Amino acid sequence: MEVNLSKIQKIRGFQDIYGEEAKKYRYVVDTFRKVFEFYNFKEIILPYVEDISLFKRSVGEATDIVQKEMYVFTDKGGREVALRPEGTASCVRAYIEEKMYAEGGYHKLFYEGAMFRYERPQAGRYRQFHQIGAEIFGVSSVLADAELISMVDNVLKKLKINYKLEINSLGDFQSRKSYTQNLVNYLKKYENQLCETCQKRIELNPLRVLDCKVPTCKEITKEAPKITEFLSEESQKRFLQLKEYLKALNVDFIENPRLVRGLDYYTDTVFEFITEEIGAQGTVAAGGRYDNLVEQLGGPPTPALGFAAGIERLMLLVKDLPKEKPLITVIPITPDYNIQSIQLSNKLRNINLKSETMLKEGSLKSMLKTADKLKSDFVVFVSDKYELKDMASGQQEIFYTQEDLIEALKDKI
RNA sequence: GAGGGUGUAGCUCAGUAGGCAGAGCACGAGGUUGUGGCCCUCGGGGUCGCGGGUUCAAGUCCCGUCAUCCUCCCCA
């Protein structure tokens, strides 16, 4: 078998992120991390591979994620494992496994990294994609819901992107159950008018029918019972309070009674930050409360909530990146000045100036051209003197000592 | 899983009716023997995504396949 190395390419739905894109990635992530820090969230670094049943039991056996999108394999020890398709499940598992509940108080955690879902790639969707998210364990107060949503709102504002926030309440387990029953009864009356997928949804995931884009389905669900009518008194109170807190925090939101989320574990608060600027995959961040999940996965009853943001989708919306430090490129006029040049570069770096030594040898003309390609803001020609060139204006100044040169540079930067 | 668009130089793309593989930009050298961007000259670069078929002859027509983009489904 002949193998042509030149033809190896990245596999479908995976990507190399480099250059400007890598900067955007870093910018999005760093913006979140800074805000997390001020909200006193602590980082948790989670495994990429988990026992497959973790996702079956949390995300939901019936969901598409579990049914058809997981990267599953058997390891050499015969374990059925999966590349994580989302972060909350692992985070909950860790919370229980590390017995964080025993430490008292409550826990605010954040994570970041790759997730894997075997789907057809399209705009803003990859098979390996990246999320950054946060979870709060051990708090039932609506204050937590409000602060979490407001925190995401803050980050998106810092990133200067256009979005809208939709919120809804799915109610507690009981109200969700009685609502679902009512909805199913209603939908059954119109079953043969619904689209094919919605007909299946009646059994599998009736709430999702509310989200259907098919016009006839929309028409039918318009008159359907609304979840808000089925909320328990407690859930209603919570939802009212959430809205009050959000207003107090100057967070603009839209109430969307049709908003349901795809994952099984949500209770009460759900929210979605949506944009219309990146095509069909408009959700950039989403989350909600999941008060039963910790217990479901074998931990003590623990109220919890969280969110996750799609880094690639946010990258599509980020327009301008923060300004970078100006670049000073040091060019030895002949190889005789190589040593002086590398020493000068080092000196500049040690005083926190960004410096590049011209590593490509050639005519002075070609070196200067390369310096231009590297987007140098300044060039220093090193000979028996130092000539500082401002690349934008083309003006040059001569210095006879490195000290004088550095003083002049400091003034300009 | 279903539907549609696109694969020709590093990049963006042209390639008419099947008849020698092209342009612009980028890259390299020179014009300017110590100075980038503008201009001029010259130059290096291609398994035309891959495999098969039709034909005297295929980038062009046919079949398959892979990749990519977009849409549905679903999700961040």
Band the pLDDT of A53: cuts 50, 70, 90: very high
Chain A, 145-184: which CBs lie within 7 Å of strand B?
none
Q: For residue A268, is pLDDT > 70? A: yes
Q: How many percent of chain A have pLDDT more than 90?
A: 64
Domains and CATH numbers, chain A: 9-172+232-317 (3.30.930.10), 327-412 (3.40.50.800)
Tokens 């995300």 sit at which residue?
Answer: A59
Band the pLDDT of A3: cuts 50, 70, 90: very low
What is the tens place of the pLDDT at every residue in A357-384? 999 888 899 899 999 999 999 999 999 9
Average pLDDT over chain A, rounded to an integer: 90
What is the tens place of the pLDDT at every residue in A292-325? 999 999 999 999 999 999 999 999 999 888 888 9
What is the tens place of the pLDDT at every residue in A70-116? 999 999 999 999 999 999 999 999 999 999 999 999 999 999 999 99
Q: What is the pLDDT of residue A225?
A: 86
Nearest-nucleotide field for A375 (CA, C1') = B36
Measured distance CA(A224)–CA(A226) in Å, rounded: 6
* Half-sphere exposure for A5 (CA within 13 Å, toward CB): 0
Chain A, 289-328: which CBs lie within 7 Å of strand B?
308-310, 312-313
Band the pLDDT of A276: cuts 50, 70, 90: confident
Q: What is the pLDDT of residue A292?
A: 93
A105/B21 CA-to-C1' distance in Å? 72
Measured distance CA(A283)–CA(A261) in Å, rounded: 11
Q: For residue A262, is pLDDT > 80? A: no
State the DSSP string of A200-266: HHHHH-GGGGGG---HHHHHHHHTSPPGGGG--HHHHHHHHHHHHHHHHTT---EE-TT---SSTT-
The bases of strand B with some atom under 7 A from any protein CB are 1-3, 27-30, 32, 34-37, 47, 66-76
Mean pLDDT of A135-151: 98
Q: For residue A171, is pLDDT > 70? A: yes
